[in-house]
Amino acid sequence: MSIVHHLDDDVLLEYATGTLAEGWSIAVATHLALCPHCRERYELMELTGGALLDTLEPVPASPDSWTALMARLQDETGAQPAAATPAVPPNGGQPVLPEPLRSYVGSDVDGIAWKSLPGAAQFLIPTSDGETMVRLLRIPAGKPVPEHTHRGREFTLVLSGAFSDGEDVFRRGDIEVADSSLMHTPVATPDADCICLAVTDAPLKFKSWMVRMVQPMLGI
Amino acid sequence: MTTTVSIDVASCKTLAPYVLRPPRDARPRAARKTVRKKEMAVEPNDKQALNITMSAHLTAVAERRDVAAFEELFRYYGPRVRAYMARLARDGQLAEELMQETMMAVWNKSAQYSPDKGNVSTWIFTIARNLRIDAYRKANRPGFDPNDPAFVPADTAPADQTLEGMEDAARLHEAMAQLPSEQLQLLKLSFFDEASHGTIAETLGIPLGTVKSRIRLAFAKLRSTLEDKQ
Ligand SMILES: [Zn+2]
């Protein structure tokens, strides 16, 4: 079944330009690993970046720039270009988690130390951006996605199983990009547990946003 | 594997097989006019020739550790990468250092460049971008890995990717020049100033929805130009 829920141009562009924070970028890069369609669009954006680099008004390098670089080349000529290391399949089979997600998790799905939540299990993935919360969720077949806040931005990428969100079904590789305006209640389809990557605004950020929202109502 | 390279600075000048584009003022009057009107000179055939030449230089660096070819890359890309870095660095010294880091990475990673992916400018842009994220945000940039067994490849591979890559880049320059100026401005702000679309909307005093729709329009136009080529 091919992917039907894709990334928008503006999210892809923020990833291509380097603006998108690490947490969101994990979801984008993992979707790109699974989705040739978005990859092709993304490649056009990188091509655009290269073309724009050509159009930049050159800023002359420092006069001794080339000499300095030559000195470094001489120092580092022992260093060989790193050969691309092909990733080894964990069990010789096809992993459920593609790169870069698998490296962030530290193993494929069968090695995950799930922590139980009411109605689901989760695995937190640490990042250094300080603005996102990134985790894997395992939702039992037929059950709703827990702790669904409907607030702030939210990326949900399906890795196995599927969830249904009203009329739409999201399967492996499909990504849902939601913001606070989207009212929805995703539910895992009844045939199998659903494992997905969920990226949201970090709780602290969310809390301050909540306070701002609540303040007018409390009259403070 | 160890390769010893002896570097002879004097010989570098003599081997240059490619004459860099003359400075702006030396260009024909017609070309200068185009620059003013559309903000950039667009000469697709030039761009294609440039790509082919730069690709040959980079391949020479990868295969023979060719210092003369590397100097050609440095003379063309160094000042552009420095300009790119300077968009975020107020400090010219930092921009210079990041440019040097980028060019060192070009030298060290040249074996990872594959001419069948086409465009040298794009390859160097991605290196510079990743170094800039590293320097300013102290953050990792997660990327996909085409060698990963879970990676889903595209169904079709174009017959001659090299030529296609070169032509695409040239056509893209042409298509970019046709974009309405507000769309081109958005692309430049996005790529150079690394501003989020929310920030760009605030800076320009336009709604975020307008920023997003201009981006969609711009890429729809660029995509259709590349798809039209058959
Ligand atoms: Zn997609």
CATH of the domain at B77: 1.10.1740.10
Mean pLDDT to the nearest integer, A78-93: 53
Domain count, chain B: 2
Mean pLDDT to the nearest integer, A83-96: 62
Phi, psi of A165 (to 5 degrees): -125, 85
CA distance B175 to B54: 21
A74: chain B residues, CB-CB within 8 Å: 7
Residue B161, pLDDT score: 57
Q: Are residues B201 and B123 in the same domain?
A: no
User: Quick one: tokens of A164?
Assistant: 């249904």
With an 8 Å Cβ cutoff, is A128 touching chain B? yes
Tell me how close the Cα of B103 comes to any Cα of chain A, in angstroms.
8
CA distance B12 to B66: 9
Q: Are residues B109 and B185 in the same domain?
A: no
Residue at B72 is within a domain: yes
In the reported structure, the alpha carbon of residue A169 is separated from the centroid of ligand 1 by a whole-number distance in angstroms of: 15
pLDDT value at B1 more than 80? no
B103: chain A residues, CB-CB within 8 Å: 69
Q: Are residues B129 and B191 in the same domain?
A: no
Residue A87, pLDDT score: 46
> Out of A19, A51, A58, whose CB is closest to B173?
A51
Q: What is the mean pLDDT of chain B?
A: 79
CA distances from A160 to A123, A197, B158 (A): 15, 10, 31
Q: Are residues B119 and B71 in the same domain?
A: yes
A93 band by pLDDT with thresholds 50, 70 and 90: confident
Please check whether residue A201 is in contact with residue A179, taking contact to mean a CB–CB distance below 8 angstroms. Answer: no
Q: Classify residue B46 as exposed, middle or buried by CB count within 10 Å of its CB (0-12, 13-18, 19+).
A: middle
User: Quick one: tokens of A122?
Assistant: 């989760």
Pairs from B190-193 (Cβ < 8 Å, separation ≥ 24): B190/A13, B190/A14, B190/A17, B190/A19, B190/B215, B191/A16, B191/A17, B191/A48, B191/A49, B191/A52, B192/A52, B192/A56, B192/B84, B192/B87, B193/B87, B193/B88
Range among A6-15, A81-90, A176-185, B186-195 rated most confident: A6-15
The domain limits of chain A are 1-220
Residue A213, pLDDT score: 54
B32 band by pLDDT with thresholds 50, 70 and 90: very low
CA distance B62 to B56: 10
Range among B41-45, B90-94, B131-135, B166-170 rated most confident: B131-135
Residue B160, pLDDT score: 53
Residue B5, pLDDT score: 43
A92 band by pLDDT with thresholds 50, 70 and 90: low
Q: What CATH number is associated with residue B229?
A: 1.10.10.10
Residue A37, pLDDT score: 94
Percentage of residues of chain B with pLDDT beyond 70: 74
A155 band by pLDDT with thresholds 50, 70 and 90: very high
Mean pLDDT to the nearest integer, B79-98: 89
**CATH fold of A1-220:** Jelly Rolls (2.60.120)
Q: Classify residue A158 as exposed, middle or buried by CB count within 10 Å of its CB (0-12, 13-18, 19+).
A: buried
Please check whether residue B170 is in contact with residue B44, taking contact to mean a CB–CB distance below 8 angstroms. Answer: yes
Q: Are residues B186 and B125 in the same domain?
A: no
B35 band by pLDDT with thresholds 50, 70 and 90: very low
Pick from B119, B142, B165: which residue ends a domain?
B142
Q: What is the pLDDT of residues B127-169, one digit of tens each?
A: 999 999 888 877 778 999 999 999 999 887 655 555 566 677 7
Count CA atoms within 13 Å of residue B219 on its CB side: 25
> Out of A48, A66, A95, whose CB is closest to B187?
A48
Q: What is the mean pLDDT of chain A?
A: 84
Residue at B226 is within a domain: yes
Phi, psi of B40 (to 5 degrees): -155, 150
**Interface test with chain A among B51, B144, B168, B188, by most A beta carbons within 10 Å:** B144
Q: Are residues B130 and B189 in the same domain?
A: no
Asked if A82 lies within 8 A of B108 by C-beta distance, the reply is yes
Asked if A49 lies within 8 A of B122 by C-beta distance, the reply is yes
Pairs from B91-94 (Cβ < 8 Å, separation ≥ 24): B94/B135
In the reported structure, the alpha carbon of residue A153 is separated from the centroid of ligand 1 by a whole-number distance in angstroms of: 18
CA distance B111 to B108: 8
**Strand-strand pairing, A132-139 and A154-160:** unpaired
Mean pLDDT to the nearest integer, A197-216: 63
Residue at B170 is within a domain: no
pLDDT value at B54 more than 90? yes
Asked if B176 lies within 8 A of A61 by C-beta distance, the reply is no
* Global confidence as pTM: 0.82
Residue A178, pLDDT score: 86
Structural domain boundaries, residue B220: 178-230
Q: Classify residue B27 as exposed, middle or buried by CB count within 10 Å of its CB (0-12, 13-18, 19+).
A: middle
pLDDT value at A97 more than 70? yes
pLDDT value at B2 more than 50? no
Question: What is the arrangement of strands in the sheet containing A187-188, beginning at the earlier edge strand?
Answer: A168-170, A163-165, A187-188
Mean pLDDT to the nearest integer, A27-55: 95
Pick from B94, B120, B142: which residue ends a domain?
B142
Instruction: Give the DSSP H or E segment for A123.
Output: strand A120-125
Mean pLDDT to the nearest integer, B69-89: 93
